Amino acid sequence: MPPTVDTAHPQLVVVSNRLPIAYQLAANGQKVASLSPGGLVAALGPALAGKGATWVGWDGTADGSEEPLDVEGFRIEPVSLTAELIEGHYEGLSNSTLWPLFHNVGVPARFSASWWDSYERANEAFAERVANVSPEGAIVFVQDYHLMLVPALLRERRPDLTIGYFHHIPFPHPDTMAALEQRALVLEGLLGADIVGFQRQRDVEAFQENIASLGVHAPGNRRVHIAAYPISIDSAGVSRAAQSPKVQARARDLRAEWGHPTHVFLGVDRLDYTKGIPERLKAFEELLASGAASAKDTVFVQAGSPSRESVEQYQALSAEIDEIVTRVNATYPSGQERGAIVYLRENLPREDMLALFIAADVMVVTSLADGMNLVAKEFVACRSDDSGVLVLSTEAGAAETMSEALLVDPFHQAEIVEAFEASLNLGSADAARRMAALRQEVAANDVARWARAIVGDLEEARAH
């Protein structure tokens, strides 16, 4: 029997592939868990406050403990996965099949029957764990493409639950999805939810087209609410953090380290082939070649967090970026200690990241495919004086609402170069008007509003 709960305040259970926790060694040598300062925690924290929320997920280790933990107001319920399941489910199907397939930027998806088997078994393990820990009548909120079978598997086990699913990355059209033999099972898995949420309206439409093309129905012909719920950031929190004296001082120090340039372009990304990093660096190279900017007073700072370094495509991306940086810096000497491109290939502390946002003049987001892209919103939230320019890819979900950015097609280098030139020539009044509008949009549609919208709709679905 599932545990009972006060029906006026049903427990909310969040399910994600990775638990939002990190371990640190205490003075006595014991491991102490704390919440990781990630976007999902920041997003859902306010909505979950006072609701006795549980978080179900994998702790990142092989054969980890399933002993529950209480961490900062959350009940943490780990799912234990074997090394074999991790390899097949996470490294295999999730990252080598679904990620390239759903982003569809020219990197081929790899397929393996054993990976699909692992994906099914991992999803069953998650569904079983959630079924065992969810109070009667609870709301369960499943996150992202690693767990697309969980909604239907969970509904079979616990029809009393109200189930939501949110898809953080793009959803492909039927002609792309056709490459996945098990696509009908994926759609049926998602249709086990009461609410299926996406970042963008175009992802909603792609999902509906897939359903129509295969004639898939929700179990029992239930009504499923499918809608866009664009995710965001804690705008006020980012803005406050950016104004701290330490961050402001670090921003001034960075510009000094770069030789007090007139113009600073900035890219901040995980090193992933979906982010369009080579495209923007080549555009900057063209900008220098045209004479519209000089390396003596203009610098491009690219911060890149290493990612999936054992995967061939990511190794190739890293090598391509290294080659571009070396070539540009050799061809266009700055006459200073820094190169024309400053490449920070490391995981930067949060305060350093915020300092970069403040130190920059032009934020460059050229994603080839991106569900949302929160970096664009964080940059805007940091610009309390309404300075700065955002160059934003039309392929990022953020572009749907951030129309005052300089929007570019990331597949057309000439458009990126033109936007770079425009950012250098934009009058201060026009730049301030654009940034003020962007800041207003990000502040009004913050992460708390996202969480209230989707959790509120789940509560309404439960009531009916």
Full DSSP string of 281-343: HHHHHHHHHHTSS-TTTEEEEEEEE---TTSHHHHHHHHHHHHHHHHHHHHS--SSSS-SEEE
Q: Please give the structure tokens belonging to residue 448.
A: 């708390």
Cα dihedral 225, 230, 235, 238 in deg (nearest 10) = 110
Q: What are phi and psi of 11, to 5 degrees?
A: -65, 145
Q: What is the pLDDT of residue 6?
A: 41
**pLDDT band for position 8 (50/70/90)?**
very low
**pLDDT band for position 85 (50/70/90)?**
very high
In this structure, which amino acid lies at residue 84?
E
Q: What is the pLDDT of residue 457?
A: 96
Please tell me what DSSP assigns to residue 346: S
**pLDDT band for position 31 (50/70/90)?**
confident
The domain segmentation of the chain, as residue ranges, is 12-232+448-463, 235-444
pLDDT at 10 > cutoff 60: no
Q: Please give the structure tokens belonging to residue 391.
A: 């160059």
* Helix, strand, coil abundance in the chain, percent, nearest 5: 45, 20, 35
What would the pLDDT profile of 353-399 be if each residue is shown by its tens digit? 999 999 999 999 999 999 999 999 999 999 999 999 999 999 999 99
Q: Please give the structure tokens belonging to residue 373.
A: 């892209």
What would the pLDDT profile of 87-114 be if each residue is shown by its tens digit? 999 999 999 999 999 999 999 999 999 9
Exposed/middle/buried for 156, CB within 10 Å: 0-12, 13-18, 19+? exposed
In 3D space, the residue among 148, 154, 163, 165 whose CA is nearest the CA of residue 132 turns out to be 154
**DSSP run (H or E) holding 198:** strand 195-198
pLDDT at 221 > cutoff 90: no
**pLDDT band for position 47 (50/70/90)?**
low
**DSSP run (H or E) holding 266:** strand 263-270
Using the Cα atoms of residue 272, residue 123, residue 18 and residue 168 in order, give the sign of their dihedral: positive
d(CA 118, CA 91) in angstroms, rounded, equals: 10
In 3D space, the residue among 103, 195, 215 whose CA is nearest the CA of residue 151 turns out to be 195
**Fold classified for 12-232+448-463:** Rossmann fold (3.40.50)
d(CA 435, CA 108) in angstroms, rounded, equals: 38
Q: What percent of the chain has pLDDT over 90?
A: 83
CATH of domain 235-444: 3.40.50.2000
In 3D space, the residue among 410, 381, 379, 380 whose CA is nearest the CA of residue 394 turns out to be 410
Q: What is the pLDDT of residue 79?
A: 97
Full DSSP string of 99-113: HHHHH-SSPPPP--H
Q: Which residues are paired to 21 by β-bridges?
A: 35
Domain 12-232+448-463 and domain 235-444, same fold? Reply is yes
